[in-house]
Amino acid sequence: MPSLHATPAEVMQMMKGLGKRSKYNVDTSKAGREGRTWRDEAYDSKDEMEYAQQLELQKKAGLINDWQRQIPFRLVVNGSLIATHYCDFKIVGKEGVWYEEFKGVETAAYKMKRKLLKALYDVDYRVVKKK
């Protein structure tokens, strides 16, 4: 049976192939950003970037009026800033304004921020999952 233990040198060797990673395991190296950059803006994932491209096509087709990305929501409770949540997209459509979060994995931190956002703001907030 192979050993489940690795020396520090072996761990470092294994990590070399991973590139620079964020705390959310996103490749932050130059090569990693290139695969998820559109219009000189780096997205959190390739899927999120492709969703932004879909929104732009919807805008050009007249299905939505406009869209913006990375909209900050300050999550303040009893005068204390708990966190700032950056919603992926704000969409202005024919029927009004809504916010969309493109999610692959819902972390515990995200779930808490979503609950706080819904409690503090009266906005149409939608979660879009990768199909």
Secondary structure percentages of the chain, helix, strand, coil, to 5: 30, 35, 30
Out of 3.40.50.11540, 3.10.310.30, 3.40.1350.10, 3.30.70.1450, the CATH code matching 39-129 is 3.40.1350.10
Model pTM above 0.85 = no
Mean pLDDT (10-residue bins), the chain, 131 residues: 61 54 48 59 78 92 94 94 92 94 86 93 90 69
pLDDT of residue 25: 43
pLDDT at residue 22, rounded to an integer: 46
pLDDT given for residue 96 in this prediction: 94
Q: Which of 60, 37, 40 is nearest to 48 (CA)?
A: 37
H or E element that contains 37: strand 37-38
